Structure formats: structure tokens, C-alpha cells
Amino acid sequence: MRANTRRRLPFALAGLAVSVAVAVPLATAPSASAAEPVTVANHTFENNDTHGWAPRADETVAVSTAVAHSGTGSLLVSGRTRTWEGPTLSVLDTMDKGVRYTLSVWVRVAAGGGSTQARLSVERRTAGTPSYDQVVGNTNVSDGAWVNLQGQYTLAHDVEFLSVYVETASGTASLHIDDFVLSYVPATPIQTDIPSVKDVLASHFPIGAAISVPQTLGEHARLLSKHFNSVTPGNALKWDATEPTEGTFRFADADAMVDFARANGMEVRGHTLVWHNQTPAWVFNDASGAPMTPTAANKALLLSRLDAHIRGVVGHHGADIATWDVVNEVIDENQADGLRRSKWYEIAGLDYIRTAFRVTREVAPGAKLYINDYNTNVPAKRDKLYNLVSQLKAEGVPIDGVGHQMHVNVDWPSVSESEAMIQKFVPLDVDQQVTEMDVSIYTNSGESFPTPPRDRLIRQAYKYRDLFDLYKRYSSELTSVTVWGLADDDTWLDTFPVVRNDAPLLFDEQLQAKPAYWGIVDPTRIEATPTATVPTSPSVVPTTSAPPTTTPPPAGSCQVTYRVVGQWPGGFQGEVRVAPGQALTSWTVGWSFANGQRISQLWSGGYTQSGATVTVTNASWNGSVPANGSVTFGFVASWTGTNAAPASFTVNGAAC
């Protein structure tokens, strides 16, 4: 039940919705356009109305007319005695689980209060246990101007308490807030009539996505389970998430993802047990609480903490997680010995890596244990990693595999450099996986686009095509490929290495297939994929689905081109292009399979199959074909023994 009435946003915010015009051939179902945002709350603090905002503790919250971001009123919080005190609003009856909300509020320090840093957070409680989720991190604010805090939040757990609040990083200055807006964009349904990436790659390797709990809910969950058969919790298995204080383990998020994976028949990659980032400070503090120095006692303490951590985390998950990134990013190619000078290395030398692998093997004897790193295509780094793995394997350290992160971009690296990366490790007799692939649209940290330009998305698609072609050629070496995210609405590259709008994944912000998706699934469709994120002129919408370079057949002759796009044991992907030689307003294409082939999914049309006889009819958007035009549809089917092309076709009942 929602306490507030929903209404359309004021013009400025509604303008954030991306309008979509399709100006390319419709080789697949056109991407649905993004819906307009829906406002759930809009608090202006006019007429002495606090809209239910209250203090978190003993401070005072009241409407003020001293300053206002709009109108004449704002909300003033004064009498703060602790940094976490601030104005708070219950959103328990307002926010639904699994919906991605945008929260926006304007903040200003009260006159004479100078400057500080403010942040916007959500407090949630489940079974009495509170969690604090940051929506907008520390942001400079002062008494001289209004500053906007805006961020996204998805409630991913069942809660009995849920509230949003503003606090400061330090100090207890009085604050004004104004124009709080809570809104969301209704989810666009995913495309159900396109091939599943996991089916297309079925004969090669499992395909994974890095996720957090919100990706296991609603439309995101549908996209995830349709296309992927492996998941990697992107953050939930890191040390700061699993053991934030010594001996206290938290698995709620990881368990939610593992449960989802189990329910959907997916593998789980455990990422990661040892890393120099996202590790709490206590791990590196000595018995007295001071930062460790390299002594024998500190080394023993650190390794015992590592041992206990691995037993806690790996032991908790048991057989549910069969692959672990035991150590992450331990190589520094600029060191003569190739080892990163992390706290781990400083205190424990190489022994932290040896201990981590040995303990993990002991706790999970059946799991595959990986050493994972980025830039493993760069020859200097690749070779240092190779040397380390050879040394450790020679010592008997139980390393099963090398993980190549593959955080790459539209221009880099080349296929040959990536091939050399895989080849290098073949003699070591280790498994290899691509663990964190994404393809940034940016080639340097100085670039920034408000929306991804179409040419970058096309270049990105060819990079996905070329690298996946390489991976497929090496599928005897690669036991899994994972992309670092599900869709462009949630990617770490929006804040790394700088804050900007990146689009590195296979699906766009509305969860629709990008050219990058077709780069993997069917590269002939790359140029023809509608791009929801790039508004273009509708005046050039073509009337057929043929690629623009296709030469039309002579008028009057009907032609069908049948093609096996890819084939694997038991399955294949087919494509049918029909040039009817006369204008049609709807079409039905028929054929008979000679060898028992059976279609399991078909896109850009509807189909029935009765025995050997297949009948395909147009989709709602591609029924009309001009006299010199053509239409193309595709499908995935099973086969055994022989997979011959059909001998003849009919179009609207007549032989073609």
C-alpha cells in the first residue's frame, strides 16, 4: 500500500526519460522505449508542511523560511549533536522491493555553518538487524549554495523498517533540505523473442554475469535467467561484505544470490577471498589495534585471520560455490619479482597466497581455485603472472586456474594480443576463464558522452564479436566466460576510473539487446540493431528488415535464403531471408525439415511446427514488405545425425 499518490513528474525531471526513435532496419523486435518517470513523493516544505520528515534522535526538524530552494519554505534540522543525526522520512509504505528508485534532495548548510560533507542514505531493518545503505556518498555542501544529492536505490530485502535520511561526514552544523523527489521509471519488459546467449554458447562454455541482489528481482531476474547460466556476486563475497568485523560473518546478500542461482540452474563464481581492496582495516591491525608492521608475530596473526576467514566464507557456502577467485590482483609487473606491494605482501610475503590456496583446497576439496587479475593480455603482466603460477604449481600450491578479467574497451586489446594471453598459459596445464569482461565505450579517461554514440556501440559490438570468436576457438581451454554486469543501468564503469556514463555490457539501460549482444549472438545483425539510447530522426525508417548493403532481388522473383549461422552438437542457429519479389502486407513462410530438426525458439516472427512442417508468420512490426524488399527471421533448433537445409519453401501458400 502506498501512502502517497503517484503523479507525473514536473517537466524538467520527466525530460530525463530518453525518447526513442528507431532509424535503422528492424532486424529484430524494436527496443521498447523507456517509460516516463513516476513521482512517488515530491516534498517542497511549503505552508509549514514537513511531509512526515522527523529527527533521527534528539535534534529538531521544522519548516523554515530562512532559505528555500524553490518557493519560500525548506526543512531545517538544528540542534544536532552527532554526525548521524539528520532529517529522516519513513518510506516503508512507499517503496516496493525490486523497483529501482531515484532519490533527489537539495541540501544547504544553515547560515553561518560554513561547509561540511553531507550524504544520503537508507536505513533498513530485517528481524531487528539494521543495515545502512549509502545512496549518495559524501558530497561537499556549504551555507553559500544549494547542492543536489541524487542517486538510485533498489530495496532488495524484506524489511520491517525503511527510512531515508541525510547526515554529515563530520560536524553537527544545522542543515536545510528542500525539494525531495522520489521517483522511478517503470521497467520495460525484456525481449523474449531473441535467442538466449547461454543457448548460443551452449557448446562452448557457461556464460556468466556479475550481479548484486537487485538483479535477482523483477525484470532484471527475467533477463538474467534467460541469457546467463552462471553468476558472480560482484561485491557480496568480498571481505568487507562477509566479515566486516572480526569473527562476525554476514551472508544475507550472498545467500540470496546463491539461492537464485540454485533455483535457476546456474553456476556461482566465488569472488574473492583475498584482495588488497574492500578489505576492512581491522584485518591489518595488530593485537593492540595499531597498523601492523612486518614482524613474525604480525605475520602469524594475519595468516591466522586469513585462515579463519576462508574457513568461515568457503565453509558457509560448501558445494554451492564450485569456483573461487582465491586471490585477486596480486601481480605488479613493475616489481622485479612481479608481486604487488599490498599490505598482504608487506606483512606476509608470498605466504599469504600459499596459505589462501591451501586452506581453500582443504575446506572445499572439490572446488576449482583461481588466481584472477586484470591486464593479463599485457605481455609484461602476463609473463609475471605466468612465472608466479609456474613457481607455485611447482611448489605444490593447489592452483587450478587463471582468471583473465578482460576489462577492455572498444579499441583495445587486439585479438592477437588476447590470443597470446590464452596461449601463454596452455603449457601450464591450468583451466582458464574470462572472469570480468566489459567493453568500455571510452578509450581514455578524458572522454565523456552524455549518451553512448552509435558508432561506439557498433565498435563495441565488433569487439565483443571478435573476442567471443577467439574465446570460442579456445573453448577447450576456457571453462567459463563472465561479463561484469547484467545491463548498462548498473555498471561499475559509471564511476571508474572517473564519473561518466559508460555502456559496457550486452543490454542497455532499459534491458534491451544492444549491438554488443548481436556481436555474440549473430554478428550479421550488428549494424541493424535499434539503439534505444541514441535518439535519431524517424524520417529514415526503412520499410524492410534487410541489411542496408543487401542488393534487392529483381522484381517478380521470389527468393528464400536459408543459412545455418552456427551449429553445435544437438543444436543450431538458423536464419531465413525472404525476398518475395512483390509487395506484401503480411506473410507466412512454410517449409519441411528433412532430418527431424525441431525449432525451440524463433525471433522476428511467430511459428508453429507440426512434425516436420514449419509455418512462420510475420511479427506485428515486419508484416509489410515492399516489392523490392526482404525480411529476415532467425531461430534456434535441435538436430541429430544430419542437418540438411529444407529443399523448398512456400511464401503465402505459393512455392518460392
C-alpha cell at 99: 523497483
Q: Would you say 556 and 599 are in contact if contact means Cβ atoms under 8 Å apart?
A: no
User: Between residues 65 and 278, which has the closer beta carbon with respect to ligand XIL?
Assistant: 278
Among positive and negative, which fits the CA dihedral 117, 155, 102, 533? positive
Q: Where on the chain is the footprint of ligand XIL (CB under 6 A)?
A: 234-235, 328, 405, 436, 492
267 classed as catalytic:
no
Q: How far is the CB of 134 from ligand XIL (least distance, A)?
A: 11
Q: Which is nearer to ligand XIL, 405 or 432 (CB)?
A: 405
Is the CB of 137 or the CB of 535 nearer to ligand XIL? Answer: 137
- Distance, CA of 81 to CA of 298 (rounded, Å): 38
Q: Extract the C-alpha cell encoding 568.
A: 553445435
> Pairing between strand 230-233 and 207-211?
parallel
The least distance separating ligand XIL from the CB of residue 303, rounded to whole angstroms, comes to 22
Rounded Cα–Cα distance for residues 349 and 353 (Å): 8
Q: Assess contact for 13 and 34: CB atoms under 8 A.
A: no
Spatial separation of the C-alpha atoms in residues 60 and 111, rounded to whole Å: 16
Q: Which is nearer to ligand XIL, 492 or 568 (CB)?
A: 492
What are the residues facing 546 on neighbouring strands?
none
Q: Cα–Cα distances in Å, from 500 out to 118, 444, 455, 529, 550?
A: 21, 12, 18, 24, 37
> Residue 392 is which amino acid?
L
| Amino acid found at 193 | D
The residue number whose beta carbon is nearest to ligand XIL equals 492
CA distance 152 to 212: 14
How many whole angstroms separate alpha carbon 428 and alpha carbon 394?
Answer: 10
Cis peptide before 30 (omega within 30 of 0): no
Instruction: Pick the closer one to ligand XIL by CB: 235 or 536.
Output: 235
CB of 440: closest distance to ligand XIL in angstroms?
12
Is residue 487 within 8 Å of 508, Cβ to Cβ?
yes
Give me the least distance between CB of 202 and ligand XIL, in Å please.
27
Helices (H), 169-317: 197-200, 218-227, 239-242, 252-263, 296-317
Residues in a beta bridge with 598: 638
Smallest gap, in angstroms, from Cβ of residue 467 to ligand XIL?
Answer: 18
Q: Strand ranges (DSSP E) for 112-187?
A: 115-126, 129-142, 147-154, 161-168, 175-184
Of 478, 458, 601, 580, nearest in space to 519 by CA: 458
Residue identified by cell 549518451 is: 451
Selected catalytic residue, list 329, 400, 438, 527: 329
Closest distance of CB 368 from ligand XIL, Å = 17
Instruction: Tell me the backbone φ, ψ of residue 463, rounded to 5 degrees.
Output: -65, -45
Phi, psi of 481 (to 5 degrees): -130, 130
Q: Backbone phi, then psi, for 16, in 5-degree steps?
A: -70, -25
In the bound state with ligand XIL, the residue whose beta carbon lies nearer, of 33 and 235, is: 235
> Which is closer to ligand XIL, CB of 25 or CB of 234?
234
CB closer to ligand XIL out of 328 and 510: 328
Nearest distance from C-beta of residue 435 to ligand XIL, angstroms: 8
User: What burial class does residue 11 get, using C-beta atoms within 10 Å of its C-beta: 0-12 exposed, 13-18 middle, 19+ buried?
Assistant: exposed
Check: CB of residue 520 under 8 Å from CB of residue 464.
Answer: yes
Catalytic residue among 253, 373, 400, 489: 373
What is the spatial distance between Cα 434 and Cα 442, in angstroms, rounded to a whole number?
Answer: 21
**Least CB distance from residue 655 to ligand XIL, whole Å?**
56
**Rounded least distance, CB 418 to ligand XIL, Å:** 18
373 is catalytic: yes
Q: Which of 436, 488, 490, 575 is catalytic?
A: 436
State the nearest-atom distance from the C-beta of 149 to ligand XIL, in Å: 19
Q: Closest approach of Cβ 390 to ligand XIL, in Å?
A: 23
Nearest 5°: the CA angle 269, 326, 307 is: 125
Q: Rank residues 235 and 588 by Cβ distance to ligand XIL and give the closer one.
A: 235
Cell of 471: 574465446
**DSSP annotation of 554:** P
- Phi then psi for residue 369, to 5 deg, are -110, 125
Nearest to ligand XIL of 352, 649 (CB atom): 352
In the complex with ligand XIL, the residue whose CB is nearer, 168 or 212, is 212
User: Does residue 436 have an active-site annotation?
Assistant: yes
> In residues, how long is the chain?
656
Catalytic residues: 329, 373, 436
